[in-house]
Structure 1
Amino acid sequence: MIEYINWIKAAHVISMVTWFAAIFYLPRLFVYHAMSEDRISQDRFVIMERKLYRGIMIPSMIATWALGLWMVYLGWEVYKTQGWLHLKIVLVILLSAYNGACGFYRKKLIDNPQYKSHVFWRWFNEVPVFALIFIVILVIVKPF
């Protein structure tokens, strides 16, 4: 049973790393998209953003959620009283909302590359860093 859970945990961490890689990269593409001035570059960013969002971000988010919930289901008797997990789930819900905001903004940028300034996107890109820091601390240190 332990080996089985370890495989699920490994897959969960892999999907989480993939999700965060996409979460960090998509807003960086928004920065470059907002700074682009020619139609060829703007069209290229639209394609890159769509492929990253649909091909990597969404599938890795779904995998992260599915594998995480599977682990919680298998260990519910242990996890149900652990506050760190409840806070982690709240942070992952907020991160999922951020993921949805990225999808919303991606569509806005298709027709209006200057929808927001590159400075806004640079700050927007920093938001998931805090989620990552807190989630890792919660999982490793388990302060609650």
Structure 2
Amino acid sequence: MGDFLWEWYGWIKSMHVISVIAWMAGLFYLPRLFVYHVEVVGSGNPTDDLFQVMERRLLKAIMTPAAVSTWVFGLCLVFTPGIVDWSLWWPWFKATAVITMTWFHIWLMLRRRDFAAGQNRLTGRAYRAMNELPTVLMFFIVFSVIVKF
């Protein structure tokens, strides 16, 4: 298996980066949609229905497949011999940040269900604040991988 992963390393790494970009785009955009949904659209009207369709499609057609492929290709990289030295602390730091990013994705899924049920309780300000989390995590992830601090 290690030989296969080494032979395909460049392709796997490329697919991992593409998947991360798609996932991050969704993680940045969905909370912003929630801000507009709360502050401008409201609930129980045709625009509310439109926003719910956009939010659902973003999650199901882009974000979730991108998250899954990020994990699959990332785990392939982890299992490629010689790529990750687990005796250092940067891979553990990155892994924690990626798990937190996955938690945020699930949290967004739950908030979308709240909108669909007409039970959103958060404000635009709360969604704006949560919108900063993927940015902070992205910095930690990139620096941990590139700088290996």
Change over 3 Å in CA distance of 1:113–1:77 after alignment to 2:
closer
Q: Which has the higher helix share?
A: 1
Pair 1:28-2:67 in alignment: no
Q: Where in structure 2 are there 5+ consecutive unaligned residues?
A: none
What stretches of structure 1 move > 6 A for 4+ residues in a row?
Answer: none
Indicate yes or no: 2:60 matched with 1:67.
no
State the 1:77 CA deviation: 7.3
Partner residue of 1:104 out of 106, 110, 129: 110
Per-residue CA deviation, residues 7-61 of structure 1 (Å, 9 max, x unaligned), is 1111101100100000000001101111213611110110000000011111000
Q: CA deviation at 1:113?
A: 6.6
Give the corresponding residue for 2:22: 18
Q: Report % sequence identity.
A: 36
- Structure 1, unaligned stretches of length 5 or more? none
Please give the TM-score of this superposition, normalised by the length of structure 2: 0.89
User: Which amino acid is 1:45 matched to?
Assistant: F
Q: Is the contact made by 1:28 and 1:121 (CA closer than 8 Å) also made in structure 2?
A: yes
- Per-residue deviation, 1:112: 2.4
Q: Does the aligned pair in 2 maintain the 1:34–1:113 contact within 8 Å? A: no
